Amino acid sequence: MNAKIPLTLVCSAALAFACGPRARNDAAAATRNDAARVARVDESTPLAPALDVTVDRAVHFSFQVVNHGKKRLEVSFPDGRTHDVVVLDTLGREVWRWSEGRMFTQAMQNRVLRTSDLLLYEEEWETPTPGKYVAVATLASRNFPVERRVEFVVPQM
């Protein structure tokens, strides 16, 4: 009788794991994993992100990350993608992603940031449609992932 209890518990755990939530596709899984990494960032991180959005015929993004700490930092990236910029509509659906369709090296890389050093990434969304959006810029760092969100409007031209 006692031998059946552990077997029942193992089977129940396996069933719960197998029936757990899963992403519908690879893009959703990557987005969820990126969001989870950013959510775990300690609020006392010495890196300060800033995102400037300028709208004219295109939308220009200027993503800056500054080391405000007192020590130098070594920021690690798992591959050639150091950052990403995603544009979401008012319903939270992805409208544009800078890294979509781009290829990145598979080589890990590190960047050393001394105090007050700046990482600057400038990107452009060339064919925006009019509407209200949220730009989400993320640093794809393994050890210091940070994110910045900015709302903006693309007017009728």
What is the domain-level CATH number for residue 139? 2.60.40.2360
Q: Are residues 15 and 55 in the same domain?
A: no
d(CA 75, CA 145): 9
Place of tokens 């590190």: 110
Across 66-85, b (16+ Cβ under 10 Å) vs e yields: bbebeeebebebeeebbbbb
Low-confidence ranges of the chain (pLDDT < 70): 1-44
Per residue in 47-67, pLDDT tens?
Answer: 999 999 999 999 999 999 999
Residue 157 pLDDT: 73
Same domain, 34 and 63: no
Question: Positive or negative CA dihedral for 136, 139, 143, 144?
Answer: negative
115 and 73, same domain (yes or no): yes
Claim: this prediction has a pTM higher than 0.75: no
Task: Say yes or no: 35 and 109 in one domain.
Answer: no
pLDDT digits (tens, 9 = 90+) for 26-35: 444 444 444 4
Tokens representing residue 129 in the block: 């449609």
Residue 14, pLDDT score: 57
